[in-house]
Structure 1
Amino acid sequence: MTAQHHGEYKVPGGKLVVVDLEVERGVLRHVRVAGDFFLEPDEALDAINDALEGAPADVDARGLAARIDTALPPGAALIGFTSEAVGIAVRRAVARATDWTDFDWRVVHAEPQPPALHMALDEVLATEVAAGRREPTLRVWEWDRPAVIIGSFQSLRNEVDPEGARRHGATVVRRISGGGAMYVEPGNTITYSLCVPASLVQGLTFAESYAYLDDWVLTALGDMGITAWYKPLNDIATEAGKIAGAAQKRLATGAGAVLHHVTMSYDIDAEKMTDVLRIGREKLSDKGIASAKKRVDPLRRQTGLPRAEVIDRMIASFRARYGGRDDTVTDQEMTRAQELAAGKFSSPEWTARVP
């Protein structure tokens, strides 16, 4: 008996696409596309299914989209989804990707902690998820001091003004993911991590996984009256400019995991930022701030809510979609994280590994 394959893909800011199919002798068979999208005319759905029938099972999403585009009747309207979204759902079905609701999510929101420990906790928790010893986890960070966090591949001297960092008491650390430098202050930023099994993003390209893992945040912000959208590769933006930046690290240990972390601007002192980051003025231009002597405060200004309430609403939105039990870092996880924080993440060798 031929095994059934099921794949789902939620279009960022759009609709859900669901695909059921079989794979026989290396080709797609009995393909059925469904979802909460809108499609005109009705017969366009049959055209999509027919276009996918018999396609090689190893064709990528763009190749599948090209088959669909060729088969669609003239004037067909795909609303809330695209032909490529169907292709992504097919790839996820073939790869047997998991869905958000397949997991018993855990939510960790602990007391303020030092920057090096946050870097270490990300590595430890993602490793535990990869090994199957921890359920997928949403962790909301609290900072105990100002910090500069540089990307894994950034030059320390090019990114950070050491005198400015000292003036403002900012600890400089390097994370394990790529991307750009961030300046954070306790109470003025919202930072969170998702530690997820690699199977959750199976069938997605690296770029597609950013949008996929950020989609719940767009809904959470929308519930607070903020119209936000994903801006490739790794930003979340509103009409006020960039409000968040994401970074990822893939772990190949065990069954594999993805660490996806995001820092959101709640109310940052832009003058301090430009004093600490050498390229701070360029970063501010992305946020629509003409003068450095202002605050980058899109979440505070646009929601009118205290930071704690914004976080509570974000967690509530996540739980409404996927569930999530309150959790803590285990003693064993914390011991390992403290060892990494004191060793790797506090060492000059790691912080200045790209001088």
Structure 2
Amino acid sequence: MTDLRRGEYKVAGGKLVAADVAVRNGAITEMHINGDFFLEPDEALPRLNNALVGLPETATVETMTRHLDAAVKGAHLVGFTTSAVAIAVRRALGFATGWADHTFAVVHPAPMSPAMHLALDEVLTAEVGAGRRPPTLRFWEWSSRAIIIGSFQSLRNEVDADEADAADVSVVRRISGGGAMFVEPGNVVTYSLYVPSSLVEGLSFEQSYSFLDDWVLGGLRSIGIDAHYQPLNDITSPLGKIGGAAQKRLANGGVLHHVTMSYDVDADLMLRVLRIGREKLSDKGTKSAKKRVDPLRSQTGMPREQVIEALKDHFRERYDTVDGQLTDDELARARRLAEEKFSNPEWTARVP
């Protein structure tokens, strides 16, 4: 009897694709694709099943996708794609992983400085990439107001330094790209996911955003918010944007995905300290901001702490988790990095 290896991939907003794959002498010898997707005509399924036979088991998602595309040319794939099939095959072969292959540590430390938070992102991503820490979900607590600019943004074009100084708002630069954020203690929900690159194996950056955001959409829906993903990196609802995500992939295989969502932010202050905020309003027909930006508070009526606990509970329901903590070594390394890099004006102004 052929020993089949099984891999699964759930398409974000789509269907489940499963692959049962056999390998001999380093090559794929047998493959069976199944799932709750739709495929027409029916005769396309055998072509799909035979498309990768003979390929080396180390073939990349890109190579597999090309062969699958050729095999089902003219067919209609609904709820899935050929790249989804390739990812399921890679998972079956052990080169890619799914959520169920990992146990996630959940940590929620006490409030920290903005520089310390950004330093922890770098340290913990590297630790997961090196295999010294399990995949981790970390919720942040801010000790002060801050503007966090993206890795490639211009400091002077994004921040009104005089207004920021007057309002005692610190400015820090993160290691991920994307746009500037304004945060206040107790008025945002921020979290980071640190995962190995195997979890996003074969996914484009856009696909990985929706893939890694899928759990929080479910968490928000569980507390009454009709949340959905808006490419490239926004979480939104029919009543407007809730938050945004950013990512960084390290050379050692660690992947950082972090999100900030507004609970009840002072929009007037935000627009004084952020230059970009004024321009972003210009295409919305808005002359001035409301005094608060409060999608999580107004749409749930829940205290912020309950929102966070509900999100934790939803994550724990979906995935295998343990309660984790930051190690003394991780904290010590982050403190050094916070001082030497993330509090260093040369880093903050690396793009003037």
What TM-score, normalized to structure 1?
A: 0.88
Letter in 2 for 1:346: S
Aligned to 1:196: 195
Do structure 1's residue 89 and structure 2's residue 88 form an aligned pair? yes
Report the Cα distance in structure 2 between the residues aligned to 1:178 and 1:189, rounded to whole angstroms.
20
Aligned to 2:140: 141
One of 60, 68, 73 as aligned partner of 1:70? 73
Report the Cα distance in structure 2 between the residues aligned to 1:302 and 1:48, rounded to whole angstroms.
48
Shift, 1:7, TM fit: 3.0
Aligned to 2:300: 303
Shift, 1:146, TM fit: 0.7
Do structure 1's residue 272 and structure 2's residue 269 form an aligned pair? yes
Is the Cα contact below 8 Å between 1:140 and 1:192 reproduced in 2?
yes
Aligned to 2:221: 222
Structure 2 segments unaligned to the other structure (5+ residues): none
Letter in 2 for 1:70: K
One of 255, 259, 263 as aligned partner of 1:258? 255
Letter in 1 for 2:106: V
Structure 1 segments unaligned to the other structure (5+ residues): none
Letter in 1 for 2:129: A
Is the Cα contact below 8 Å between 1:110 and 1:141 reproduced in 2?
yes
- Say which SS state the counterpart of residue 343 (structure 1) adopts: helix
Aligned to 1:323: 320
Shift, 1:277, TM fit: 0.6
Which whole-Å deviations, capped at 9, do the CAs of 1:274-309 have from their partners, x for residues lacking one?
Answer: 101111034457889663133222111222211111
> For residues 58 and 195 of structure 1, do their structure 2 counterparts lie closer, same or farther at Cα, with a shift above 3 Å needed?
closer
Letter in 1 for 2:318: R
Is the Cα contact below 8 Å between 2:149 and 2:173 reproduced in 1?
yes
1:39-188 map, 5 Å: 39=38, 43=42, 46-47=45-46, 49-50=48-49, 52-54=51-53, 56=55, 57-58=59-60, 60=62, 63=66, 66-67=69-70, 69-70=72-73, 72=75, 78=78, 80-93=79-92, 96-188=95-187
Aligned to 1:348: 345
- Say which SS state the counterpart of residue 103 (structure 2) adopts: coil
Aligned to 1:13: 13
Which whole-Å deviations, capped at 9, do the CAs of 1:161-210 have from their partners, x for residues lacking one?
Answer: 11121222211001111111100111111100011111111222222211
Aligned to 2:330: 333
- Say which SS state the counterpart of residue 178 (structure 1) adopts: coil
Which whole-Å deviations, capped at 9, do the CAs of 1:111-132 have from their partners, x for residues lacking one?
Answer: 1111000011111111111121
Letter in 2 for 1:325: V
Shift, 1:345, TM fit: 0.7
Report the Cα distance in structure 2 between the residues aligned to 1:9 and 1:285, rounded to whole angstroms.
41
> For residues 274 and 103 of structure 1, do their structure 2 counterparts lie closer, same or farther at Cα, with a shift above 3 Å needed?
same
Shift, 1:351, TM fit: 0.6
Report the Cα distance in structure 1 between the residues aligned to 2:24 and 2:108, rounded to whole angstroms.
46
Is the Cα contact below 8 Å between 1:231 and 1:237 reproduced in 2?
yes
What TM-score, normalized to structure 2?
A: 0.89
Shift, 1:68, TM fit: 5.7
> For residues 271 and 257 of structure 1, do their structure 2 counterparts lie closer, same or farther at Cα, with a shift above 3 Å needed?
same
Report the Cα distance in structure 1 between the residues aligned to 2:287 and 2:67, rounded to whole angstroms.
44
Identity %: 57
Which whole-Å deviations, capped at 9, do the CAs of 1:69-123 have from their partners, x for residues lacking one?
Answer: 4263xxx673x43444334433544562112222221111011111000011111
Report the Cα distance in structure 2 between the residues aligned to 1:142 and 1:215, rounded to whole angstroms.
23
RMSD: 2.7
Shift, 1:32, TM fit: 1.4
Letter in 1 for 2:349: A
Letter in 2 for 1:278: R
One of 298, 314, 332 as aligned partner of 2:311? 314
Q: How many equivalent residue pairs?
A: 348
Which whole-Å deviations, capped at 9, do the CAs of 1:21-70 have from their partners, x for residues lacking one?
Answer: 235688654221223x2436794673463463547544626535634642
